[in-house]
Structure 1
Amino acid sequence: MFYIFLFYYLMLSFSCAQDPVANLRQGRIIGIKVFTESTLTPIEVYYGIPYAIPPIGRHRFLAPVRHTGWERTFFARRIPPHCPCEEDPDNDNASEDCLFLNVWTPRPTEGVALPVVVLLYSESWTRGGTTLPCQELAGEGVVVVTMSYRLHLLAFFTLKSKSARGNLALLDQYLALVWIRDNIAAFGGNPATITLLGHSAGADSILYHLVSPRSTGLFHRAILMSPQYIWQAIDEKSTNNQTYRISQEIVRVLGCNDNGESDIINCLQTRPLSDIIALYPNKTWSKYLHPIPDDFLPDSEQFLPVSLVTALSQAKRKQKPIDLLLGTNDIDALNYNDETYAELNNLSPLHISKIADSRIIPKLLQMLSLGAAEDFPVLVKAIRWEYWNDVPQRLTNINEAIEKVAKLETSAKWDAGGALLAARIARIAARLYVYRYSQPGGVDLYGRYMNFSGATHGTNLVSLLGNPMIMQIARRLATADEKQISSLFRKIIINFIKHGYPVEDGKWRQYMVGDAHIYIISNGKYYKSYNNDVEFWLKYLPELSNLISKPDQTEQLALEQEESRLRGGVLAMCGVAVFLLLLLSVSAILLRRQHSRRYSVSDETLNS
């Protein structure tokens, strides 16, 4: 028996000697090694490191608590479960015990500390996303960290009290950032050069960390890719925050509203997880679950003392300001995980056109607070004239119709919204750079090929992570074109992570108010100015809305236009008359000269 035990002990020791090891404050941890196409040096990967104790039972709906650690060696070799979310395609791998992070590191030579990039990603505040393979990104000489954080009701349920404060997605991220600061050196990372990189709701999360007093000093640069709720950082009316009201409805629906607050919390914490997840399909609720100001807490415990809109409008440049990189895609609105575009994909082009007029464009006008409902028909026609002037009956291609709808929505939400957001964060950034990812084609985050003339939602993140991501979601190798744009885009991101600027030749100017420089990222020689789109939504359309909402001014404008046309007609007729008189005079002179010439010739002929 002793020899059998000794044999297995030696085999385990040999195996551990081959695998990477990190010694953390929590305990010893063993990972795995993977290889990439670009380098022969292996990348060390550590999956499923717990940064907080499981948020289950009496810890449900509470702020996260640091994980105390482990006594035995922790084997970090398996992808951990993710947090429960809405419309989860991988529900079997979801668990309420989900507060884990993953680390990829090229493990530098002794004494060299590498820059760190922390990826925050979920499609929305209620919907998660696919697992991100980050070995190629780490192969560029950076330590990469991803994390899971709570979503939906488990993250945003609030009674506006310490026992159910809400904002738990942001607090989970905050505690993970504290863990990274304290432990990343064990993986060869430099805690003094941490960059946050967020996509979709992950990018929105970064905006909250930028203004939160709790997150100060935990990161030094930030990259925002395709923020999902961009207008909620700009306009207070766009937030329409009903999280507290929805939370009260949930208490009632789950039958926990008979007693005081402590009894309510105890009732909710003892409910089976399945009862809570059963409420996720309620679109009315999930639509309005968002972070809220937590000014109801003591000052020392607040994460977001005021709303994001107020915080960004009042924010001043910090003593150590942060470098920022903000980017969007050509057609960021085109996301088939969005129920609207999933619906459009099953309709005829004519029906898509009608939905654009009746639902999508009016929602954009409401978002921009333009015009009363009775003014919408005129404004809708103006928008259609600008972006989609085809006769609906002539439409035959579904993809073309969907792209037209998505482009006009993108121009309002991400072009105009991005310009307003950039103007706000430019005031607090040390340096701000803005880009537009414009590479057409490629696959989205769920492996679907996107055959459109511009970059759709998610293709930029796929491009950043490269071949491992494409193999995971599309089950094939990346094409030569995909590898080329991936290499180009990754070089830009890595430059920013390491140096605080995206390109080294100085051709990419900083974005400043009054000098809105946007860098176009594409394989081809492609460039488009987005100033016209921004001016249309933020200048011309509001002017039109003001005119049609004031009949007196509209009538006066019509009279002035009639008078102007009358004056123009009179002047034109006068001009024509003068021109004809001049032409007649010139003709008379020429005839006289010709007549005189004929007589002289005849005289000469006669004399000869």
Structure 2
Amino acid sequence: MPPRCPQQNLDAENYSEDCLFLNIFAPKRVDGKLLPVMVLLYSETWLRGGATLPCQELASEGVVVITVNYRLHLLSLFTLNSVAARGNLALLDQYLALLWTRENIAAFGGDPNAITLVGHSAGADCVLHHIVSPRSAGLFHRAIIMSPRNVWRAVDKELNINASEVERISRAIAKALDCSGKTDRDILYCMRSRSVTDIVSATLNSTWLNNLQPISDNFLPDAEQYLPVSVAEALTSSKMSNIQLDILMGTTNLEAINSHDHYYEDLMKEGPQRIFEYATTKAIPETLRLLSLQEEALSMLIQAIRWEFWGAQTRNEVEKETIAAVEGLARMETSARWGAGGALLAARLARRAMRIYVYRFTQSSQVDIQGRHFNFTGAVHGADLIALLGDALMLQIARRPATDSEKRISSIFRKYIANFVRFGYPDANDGWERYKVGNAYVQEIREGLSNDHNSLSASRDVAFWLKYLPNLSNLLNSREHSEQFTTEKDESRLRGGMVAMSAVSVVLLLLLCAAAVLLYWRRTHRFSLHDDIMNHH
């Protein structure tokens, strides 16, 4: 395999600045016909990843598979908001790879008129950017979005990092490397003289990493722009043309457990009490802010969320089992960020794309993408990629062959993907329905399920986060304002006390009703997915 592009953990990687390579996995052709092509983009974050994935088993399904190396970290995202340093270089590397594929893949047995762009994690975010870029139109014909990293940034433009912020970070890093020239070209010339190790170290030692993202490059001349607007703006703009693509997208049901995010690993070491403290003081409030829910009702909403994801068990009962506490936290974050957010993204794509299909991968994980062993009852981040690439990837990351169960789910999932690449739909028997306005069908992927198994957990995610909690928040917030108005008019302390007692009683009654409604929903699972996602603003 060629060297990776410079990134995090440089000492542990075979890396080089001369890293822009393609790997091509091509099966033998039997009848001389050109085969469909998959261009696979893989990076877990914008800071690390590469083209070292083994794709020979995927190619055995009768497709030509290409993996792409592209620039990462500051070498990709550095911008001065000018022609001298434009940013978005990872996307431009991928764009050139798509151009090369269209012009040359026939020599390797691939059909240039049947190219599917596939991305996992930050690679899936890249696919979303290419879908909305006017420059990439016609370079690929189908798209597969696997476990995107920043779903909510694709549906809420207020969450996007603007170009000015990334420019500010870039200039601050340049200054830290003593590159403060008079002009942008002076700064860029100086940065090019610094070693890769110094550049990566300067960035890692900062608090800027989470805000290094692709940006809208509308500061460039029109002919030079690759992303005139963000994904979120493009998908809601009346000016954007319909997307002439078939799209397949999906996530795992424990997506939040990502081997490259260390806080779950740290929480596992600290035990259940710390997990609940983290959930109550940080994870749940951050999630509520993500969904723009009223913070005035925070304590009540936290109780509703704990009931949903940790059940009716007492705190002491749950704390006996660290795994259960961690899994509850992961399900909560996954449900809100990828479940509800993914439903909104799928609904917006469904309005514009030719066809869209959605999956939820729920087969229990035995290892993660780094080969570490787990004992969860769900599928962690990367489980769908491991299933797609099968035994070859398992040998690479876990140093063991896949189990019989892992081989079976891999075969099932690969068949779905190969069908989509060939025909534009994953199931030749029509069991897996399209995701449409009025029929938000999500196929659950797990061993032993039929090919027409609609995921009930996907419906619950939407109902809980986009309907139930907003309604509860509005009720509690309305009651609080009513109480404030009443007590300000009271002249009698006794009367004020009676009003306060009544208010407490009403709030407790609301909480009891909310718990009853939630319990009913947990038992029936009958939710109106379409109404919830279409009415969410």
Which category describes the TM-score, using the shorter chain as reference length? 0.7 to 0.9
> In the alignment, which residue of structure 2 is the partner of 1:358?
281
> In the alignment, which residue of structure 2 is the partner of 1:606?
none
Deviations 1:110-158 (A, max 9, x none): 7410000011110011122582100011111110000111111111110
Deviation at 1:88, TM superposition (A): 5.2
**Unpaired segments ≥5 residues, structure 1:** 1-78, 566-608
> In the alignment, which residue of structure 2 is the partner of 1:541?
469
> In the alignment, which residue of structure 2 is the partner of 1:571?
none
Amino acid paired to 2:358: V
> In the alignment, which residue of structure 1 is the partner of 2:150?
229
User: 1:343, 1:467 → 2: CA distance?
Assistant: 30
User: 1:136, 1:303 → 2: CA distance?
Assistant: 34
2:397 maps to 1:473: yes
Deviations 1:255-305 (A, max 9, x none): 111422221111111112221011232352111001111111111110001
Classify 1:87/1:540 alpha carbon distance in 2 versus 1 (closer, same or farther; 3 Å): farther
Deviation at 1:237, TM superposition (A): 2.1
Deviations 1:71-120 (A, max 9, x none): xxxxxxxx1011112245732x0112111110010132574100000111
Amino acid paired to 1:552: H
> In the alignment, which residue of structure 1 is the partner of 2:300?
378
> In the alignment, which residue of structure 1 is the partner of 2:89?
168
Classify 1:129/1:182 alpha carbon distance in 2 versus 1 (closer, same or farther; 3 Å): closer
User: Where do 4+ consecutive residues of structure 1 move more than 4 Å?
Assistant: 315-320, 553-562
Q: Secondary structure at the match of 1:502?
A: coil
User: 1:192, 1:199 → 2: CA distance?
Assistant: 23
Classify 1:554/1:228 alpha carbon distance in 2 versus 1 (closer, same or farther; 3 Å): farther
User: 2:483, 2:28 → 1: CA distance?
Assistant: 69
Task: Give the helix-richer structure, 1 or 2.
Answer: 2
2:345 maps to 1:416: no
Aligned residues: 485
Classify 1:289/1:453 alpha carbon distance in 2 versus 1 (closer, same or farther; 3 Å): same
Deviations 1:315-359 (A, max 9, x none): 678577100001111111111321221211211111111111111
Classify 1:507/1:451 alpha carbon distance in 2 versus 1 (closer, same or farther; 3 Å): same
Candidates 47, 59, 81, aligned match of 2:3 = 81
Q: Secondary structure at the match of 1:278?
A: helix
Amino acid paired to 2:73: H
Q: Secondary structure at the match of 1:426?
A: helix
> In the alignment, which residue of structure 1 is the partner of 2:70?
149
Normalised TM-score (structure 1) = 0.76
- Native 8 Å contact 2:10 2:197 kept in 1: no
Task: State how 1:151-300 maps to structure 2 within 5 Å.
Answer: 151-241=72-162, 242-282=165-205, 284-300=207-223
> In the alignment, which residue of structure 2 is the partner of 1:505?
429
- Native 8 Å contact 1:547 1:553 kept in 2: no
- Native 8 Å contact 1:548 1:554 kept in 2: no
Classify 1:110/1:505 alpha carbon distance in 2 versus 1 (closer, same or farther; 3 Å): closer
Deviation at 1:184, TM superposition (A): 0.4
- Native 8 Å contact 2:4 2:15 kept in 1: yes
> In the alignment, which residue of structure 2 is the partner of 1:387?
309
Classify 1:529/1:110 alpha carbon distance in 2 versus 1 (closer, same or farther; 3 Å): closer
Amino acid paired to 1:442: Q
Candidates 427, 438, 441, aligned match of 1:514 = 438
Classify 1:89/1:268 alpha carbon distance in 2 versus 1 (closer, same or farther; 3 Å): closer
> In the alignment, which residue of structure 2 is the partner of 1:306?
229
User: 1:399, 1:240 → 2: CA distance?
Assistant: 34
Candidates 322, 329, 332, aligned match of 2:245 = 322
- Native 8 Å contact 1:120 1:203 kept in 2: yes
Amino acid paired to 2:338: W
User: 1:268, 1:248 → 2: CA distance?
Assistant: 10
Deviation at 1:472, TM superposition (A): 1.0
User: 2:504, 2:203 → 1: CA distance?
Assistant: 57
Deviations 1:539-564 (A, max 9, x none): 121222233334234689977986xx
User: 1:228, 1:320 → 2: CA distance?
Assistant: 22
Identity %: 51
Whose Rg is larger? 1
- Native 8 Å contact 1:87 1:281 kept in 2: no
527-536 or 120-129, larger mean C-alpha shift: 527-536
Q: Secondary structure at the match of 1:549?
A: helix
Q: Secondary structure at the match of 2:419?
A: helix
Deviation at 1:532, TM superposition (A): 2.1
- Native 8 Å contact 1:122 1:199 kept in 2: yes
Classify 1:463/1:554 alpha carbon distance in 2 versus 1 (closer, same or farther; 3 Å): farther
Candidates 58, 65, 75, aligned match of 1:137 = 58
Q: Secondary structure at the match of 1:116?
A: strand
- Native 8 Å contact 1:83 1:97 kept in 2: yes
> In the alignment, which residue of structure 2 is the partner of 1:106?
27
> In the alignment, which residue of structure 2 is the partner of 1:450?
374
Amino acid paired to 2:465: W
> In the alignment, which residue of structure 2 is the partner of 1:22?
none
2:362 maps to 1:438: yes
Deviation at 1:471, TM superposition (A): 0.9
- Native 8 Å contact 1:81 1:95 kept in 2: yes
Classify 1:87/1:237 alpha carbon distance in 2 versus 1 (closer, same or farther; 3 Å): farther
- Native 8 Å contact 1:211 1:315 kept in 2: no
Q: Secondary structure at the match of 1:416?
A: helix
- Native 8 Å contact 2:310 2:325 kept in 1: no
Amino acid paired to 1:187: F
User: 2:75, 2:265 → 1: CA distance?
Assistant: 26
Aligned CA-pair RMSD: 2.3
Q: Larger RCO: Structure 1 or Structure 2 (Cα < 8 Å, ≥ 6 residues apart)?
A: 2
Q: Secondary structure at the match of 2:134?
A: coil
User: 1:387, 1:533 → 2: CA distance?
Assistant: 11
Deviations 1:484-538 (A, max 9, x none): 1111110000000001000011111110122111111111348534222211111
Amino acid paired to 1:231: W
Classify 1:446/1:227 alpha carbon distance in 2 versus 1 (closer, same or farther; 3 Å): same
- Native 8 Å contact 2:50 2:68 kept in 1: no
User: 2:10, 2:143 → 1: CA distance?
Assistant: 28
Q: Secondary structure at the match of 1:280?
A: helix
User: 2:30, 2:238 → 1: CA distance?
Assistant: 40
